[in-house]
A and B are shown apart, each in its own frame.
Chain A
């Protein structure tokens, strides 16, 4: 009030009036904008974390049953008349298992053949194999009665895990009322257990979910990644060193650079087609082999490795190169003695991330037949194999209930490996990161 009486504000005062309502409103608006931006960020991160959590939780819920397996702790009479001690691997273990299993039920011997068949469906087809393995390992046990833990078939595994509802009418269950009673009889005797399912890691694929495991896929993936690494790491580093340290800047190197970058963005299935057309059809390399899988994957990782290696080489400060040149080091000495070692942590980090990508890659492997049904782990890079992602793909395609859990379990294993590899990469970066 008083000020208006005293003087009229000058032009400068109206413009720069830091206390004016206009300026205060402007500041308020700016603060609100800051807050809004921060909120958007937080909301975005929450969304991302929420989605990730949903994914992991659903996978764990779905996949965790695959890591335990319902088993029957069965006293087995290793009847010597069914097994030739000289050739323990070729005995009639089916008969041994069936008679021992039948003896667990008081009415067993009196059952009709049809009932017996229904009864035997409780046991997995893998049960005789488990007994055989025991006898082969302990031939001295022939003639004795030993308690062995044998897997139950998938429907009863699911029943025990609560995935099959007993209150459904009989004709809508895979398990009949009589089988249910037999199962409860076994359970009442305390013969049913549910230990950790090592078969998930030590068995290979099987038509029976309770017997299927990832051993073949793990070995296949390992071989394929080895091949991929052995090809793409040296080739990628050599290419990157040439492009970064030796190549003149001209139109040709520009073309190469653009193409390397384009190659990194090519959909992986295209590489699979290339592998099919060139490696399999033209060079007649073996189908489904980790060698071909690794070669196809290396086409994918090669551009990634070239790009990260170039970035890592570029990050080595020129002063180090000058220092080495200044004492009379030649180009290759500068590169091998100084630049490459300093770039190595970055190169390794990028390579591991590239390898992790290759580990999860499915499409190119499908095209070269690494999704075949293979029951033995491959013995080498030329033998047919599956890989982790293709194994998951095969299981996801299978109708049995047990494979649903196996699929999710397989994804968890794959994710576990990916997280592990990325953690190694992060550790490497943290451990060897250098600031200039």
Chain B
């Protein structure tokens, strides 16, 4: 195995329990290989950041974790990804069920063109998580609360989610993901479409959420990775170059490609 995997597993012991164990993950888009033998453990209740230049495979890898790549024609995943010891690509795993347990927040805020309430209530509704109306309301309220949005929208839960500001929409999407009580929340560059103030808001939120959730965040913003994450993985041209504690990556990277990227020499 390459250096990256070794680094990743060596550090595992100091960081608590691994929730995702990924080994030799290879992804192909048709003939083209997009990821080469990626192996890493993602720690429970930690924020893990994936950084790297555009096209390095960080989003591709993120989308393997909840099998979002399944919907892309010609996409093939090899290797093993285990969630709580269960291979997510095995036959027994229903990708739909998996996606409910591994929530996702996307680059561009994408609330449903429905009311704020229905946006958050949709997941619990289709999964039958609420016993009755009051239970559902409770779920919606706590989810919005956790996403730090409740105060701003509690008087207009019936107004359309698409009418909120960009930052609010993104927090609504986070509330929507939280509402189905996932173990893990994947965030694919959640702040890249937001202004600095909204970004700061989301980053604060991620900090708070990491107490109860495992968060994996893809970002092209190195400062953001440094601010919010405890663990950072650096990807380059489809390879996991280095995976370690965030502080270590940013202060004393062991690979010179990482060094080059974080000092801004390429990327």
Contacts and interface: CB of A to CB of B under 8 A. Distances in A.
B99 A326 contact: yes
Interface in B80-125: 96-101, 103-106, 108, 110-113, 122-123
B71 interface: yes
Given A249-B73, A323-B173, A325-B71, A330 B96 contact: yes
A327 B123 contact: yes
Nearest to B104: A326
B106 A325 contact: no
Interface string A287-304: 000000000000000000
A326 B68 contact: yes
A322 interface: yes
A326 B177 contact: yes
Nearest to A330: B96
Contact of A328 (B73, B105, B180): B180
A338 B100 CA distance: 17
Contact of A327 (B71, B113, B122): B122
B99 A328 contact: yes
Q: Which of A325, A333, A337 has the most CB of B within 10 A?
A: A325
Interface residues of B, number: 28
B126 interface: yes
Interface string B167-195: 00000010011011000000000000000
Given A330-B96, A434-B113, A325 B126 contact: no
A434 B180 CA distance: 28
Given A249-B73, A325-B68, A326-B177, A319 B100 contact: no
A56 interface: no
A320 B112 contact: yes
Nearest to B107: A319
A248 B74 CA distance: 10
A325 B98 CA distance: 10
A327 B176 contact: yes
Given A323-B173, A337-B122, A342 B113 contact: yes
Contacts of A329: 96, 122-123, 126
Interface in A308-343: 317, 319-330, 333, 337-338, 342
B113 A323 contact: no
A8 B108 CA distance: 60
B76 to A, nearest CB: 14
B127 interface: yes
Nearest to B99: A328
Given A328-B123, A328-B126, A328-B180, A338 B106 contact: no
Interface residues of A, number: 20
A289 B102 CA distance: 57
Given A319-B106, A333-B126, A325 B99 contact: yes
A323 B99 contact: no
Given A320-B112, A342-B113, A327 B106 contact: no
B203 to A, nearest CB: 21
Q: Which of B66, B96, B98, B173 has the most CB of A within 10 A?
A: B96
A360 to B, nearest CB: 35
B34 to A, nearest CB: 18
A342 B113 CA distance: 8
Q: Which of A320, A326, A329, A337 has the most CB of B within 10 A?
A: A326
Given A322-B110, A434-B113, A328 B176 contact: no
Given A326-B104, A327-B177, A319 B110 contact: yes
A327 B100 contact: yes
B242 to A, nearest CB: 28
Contacts of B177: 326-327
A328 B127 contact: yes
Contacts of A324: 112, 122
A326 B96 contact: no
Nearest to A326: B104
Nearest to A322: B106
Nearest to B66: A326
Contact of B110 (A323, A328, A333): A323
B123 A338 contact: no
A434 B160 CA distance: 13
Interface in A55-81: none
Given A249-B73, A333-B126, A337-B122, A326 B103 contact: yes
Nearest to B74: A249
A8 B251 CA distance: 64
Interface in A419-436: 434
A114 B177 CA distance: 94
A317 to B, nearest CB: 8
Given A322-B68, A337-B122, A328 B96 contact: yes
Contacts of A249: 73
Nearest to A333: B126
Contacts of B66: 326
B102 to A, nearest CB: 9
Contacts of A333: 126
Contacts of B108: 319
Contacts of A326: 66, 68, 99, 103-106, 177
Contacts of A328: 96-101, 123, 126-127, 180
Q: Which of A321, A328, A342 has the most CB of B within 10 A?
A: A328
9 contacts: A323-B110, A324-B122, A326-B105, A326-B177, A328-B99, A328-B126, A329-B126, A330-B96, A338-B112
Interface of B: 66, 68, 71, 73, 96-101, 103-106, 108, 110-113, 122-123, 126-127, 173, 176-177, 179-180
Interface of A: 248-249, 317, 319-330, 333, 337-338, 342, 434
Query: Top 8 closest A-B pairs, CB basis?
Result: A328-B100, A327-B123, A326-B104, A319-B110, A323-B110, A328-B99, A330-B96, A328-B96
Given A320-B112, A337-B122, 7 more contacts: A323-B106, A326-B103, A326-B105, A327-B126, A333-B126, A338-B112, A342-B113
